[in-house]
Structure 1
Amino acid sequence: MSPLVSCLDAGWRVGLAGVTDEHREGWGFHGGLGRTGLWAPSRTRAGVRAALLGRRMFATRERGLRVDARLDGVAMGGSWRRDAKNVSNARKAQNAGNVRIALKFDAPAEWGGQGLRVQVLQRGEPVPEVVAEVDFRVGGGVLRFVARVSTEPGDWVVLRITDPGREGDPRAARLPGFRSAGRAVAYLSPFFISRPR
């Protein structure tokens, strides 16, 4: 089973960070290394601490990315509540509903116009299940779409950005939903489904 799935299914409210054990000169400048992007209110210790505690972060191996997302207005890393405002009574009974997702993806100029894909991931075994996916182009502004997700309290939603034009991890190539998605570009911190009010 995926360590990500194990942690999230156990109820851990973690943010997703990219890391690398780096020992070379030019630390942090080599390509292809794990990196963490933070949405901090300021470039101070307090600002970085607030971003980490709020799980306002994403994992990537690419330099210069800025990725942010909202699920029905809730920032990545936050808790989303199912209530009458965002899920109809019929859908409440099914513990599923449509949510509005807004994704902002900014990258260096050489990425301009590149075709990418955003996948909506939820609980699954042995890896997360792809419950929705949408293709988009870099530089096209904020991508807005609707996805049907499980709204069962304790569930979670993770957005995965991929490049279908590049070969993905060979382990993922064997898995339905991941096979055609190509190389992972970024994983955004989860949205956590909370109990209704």
Structure 2
Amino acid sequence: MRARRFFATRVSGLRLDATAGGVRMGGQLPLTSGDVRFRVDLDRGQDWVGKRLDIQVLRPGGAAPEVADVVPATAGAITEFTVPLDTADGNWVVLRISDPTQVNGSPGPAGHACNDWGVAYSSPWWLQG
């Protein structure tokens, strides 16, 4: 826990492992601005193999975090994608894993990309240029 390499989830048996620019979740990402390559490993065993999930890249926002990108993912497979980040937009980034087939019982602002059912949240990466 000291290394902050843990995640929060609503489902038992889920594994979430992620890196951003080769840095494990919970770490400091040496970046002021630029493209960052994410690598996300999601698994929950045989029942979820092939299950469609979304990876939402969250950044600091006003009333709710801003969604910098939404990337489709498949449970049981590694998903890789690139997102531009800039410390001018805030010093953290978090991944929210969601199930787009389920409605969020306590949605955020109307039309927000995170109004589906949240499955898990990664630890944040801290941007430090």
The TM-score, its normalising length taken from structure 1, stands at 0.61
| Higher percent of residues as strand | 2
Aligned to 1:79: 28
Report which structure shows greater RCO (CA 8 Å, sep ≥6).
2
How far does residue 175 in structure 1 lie from its aligned partner after superposition?
Answer: 4.6
Gaps of 5+ in 2: none
Q: CA RMSD in A?
A: 1.7
Counterpart of 2:100? 164
Q: Contact conserved, 2:54 with 2:72, CA < 8 A, in 1?
A: yes
TM-score by length of 2: 0.92
Alignment of 1:20-169 (within 5 A): 52-82=1-31, 96-139=33-76, 141-152=77-88, 155-169=91-105
Q: Which residue identity lines up with residue 188 of structure 1 in the other structure?
A: S
How far apart in 1 are the matches of 2:87 and 2:42?
26
Question: How far 1:177 moved relative to its partner?
Answer: 2.2
Structure with higher helix content: 1
Task: Quote the Cα distance in structure 1 between the aligned partners of 2:103 and 2:19.
Answer: 28
Cα deviation, 1:80-99, whole Å, max 9, x if unaligned, reads 012xxxxxxxxxxxx53210
Give 5+ residue unaligned stretches, structure 1.
1-51, 83-94
- AA aligned to 1:74 is V
Greater gyration radius = 1
> How much identity, in percent, do the aligned residues show?
37
Q: CA deviation at 1:142?
A: 1.4
Residue 118 (structure 2) aligns with: 184
